[in-house]
Amino acid sequence: MIMSTATPPTDCPSPQLLLTPHTPMAASAGVDTELDAIALLKAELDTLGLLLSECECARTLEAMKDRVDEICVAFRVHAQVAEELFYPLVMAASPTRWQQRRAGSDHTRAKRLVEQLENAEPHDASYDIRVTVLSQLIAQHIRQMQAEVLPIAKASALDMASLGARMAARKTDLLARRSQGHVA
């Protein structure tokens, strides 16, 4: 993540791509409660991917720090909602398929890095390395969710609309707590 004053590469997302109802910035205005659980997770994964791309294209340390802060909030909330609501229900509904799934500690390792980055400044010696590792972990998590977890959830008999509404409500609650200064 080397900062430059040059024009960002052409594969960098435009800022307007990030202004969707599912981004952390727009989330304070409300989370789409009409999405089923799988669509909600896909939207969160897309948002994380776009934020990672924008972080890689940041021209200044301040811009990178802003994107990293958004990534940290988005991932922390995504992980908490998934761990509290989505994973336990999918595991219970499809225990055999879930056990066949590759075990990983994406959330645990990424959450550790998120905590470190939330307490670091972009000029710290290890900041750039931590951002790079977090980007890799989240990219791996996105691939794993899309290839392994979401297909298991789709094949289950779970009511994804109801689960999506519960997840959206929890996400709204967590984001509201964060905006009030209560870190969940």
Span 152-163, average pLDDT: 94
Cα 102 to its chain centre, rounded Å, is: 20
Q: Which of 3-7, 115-119, 132-136, 162-166 has the highest mean pLDDT?
A: 162-166
Q: Is the pLDDT of residue 5 over 60?
A: no
pLDDT value, residue 47: 94
pLDDT value, residue 100: 60
pLDDT value, residue 148: 87
Q: Is the pLDDT of residue 67 over 60?
A: yes
In a 10 Å sphere around its CB, with 0-12 CB exposed, 13-18 middle and 19+ buried, how is residue 88 labelled? exposed
Q: Is the pLDDT of residue 8 over 80?
A: no
- Lowest pLDDT segment from 33-37, 80-84, 101-105: 101-105
CA distance linking residue 167 with residue 86, whole number of Å: 8
Span 52-76, average pLDDT: 91
pLDDT value, residue 131: 92
pLDDT value, residue 24: 41
As given in the structure block, the two tokens for residue 4 are 């430059």
Sorted by sequence, the CB contacts under 8 Å of residue 128 that are 6+ apart come out as 1, 2, 122
Q: Which residue has the tokens 């298991």?
A: 152
- One-character DSSP codes across the chain: ----SSPPPTTSPPHHHH-STTSHHHHTT---TTS-HHHHHHHHHHHHHHHHHHHHT-SSHHHHHHHHHHHHHHHHHHHHHIIIIIHHHHHHH-HHHHHHSPP--HHHHHHHHHHHHHT--TTSTTHHHHHHHHHHHHHHHHHHIIIIIHHHHHHS---HHHHHHHHHHHHHHHHHHHHTT---
Mean of all residue pLDDT scores within the chain: 81
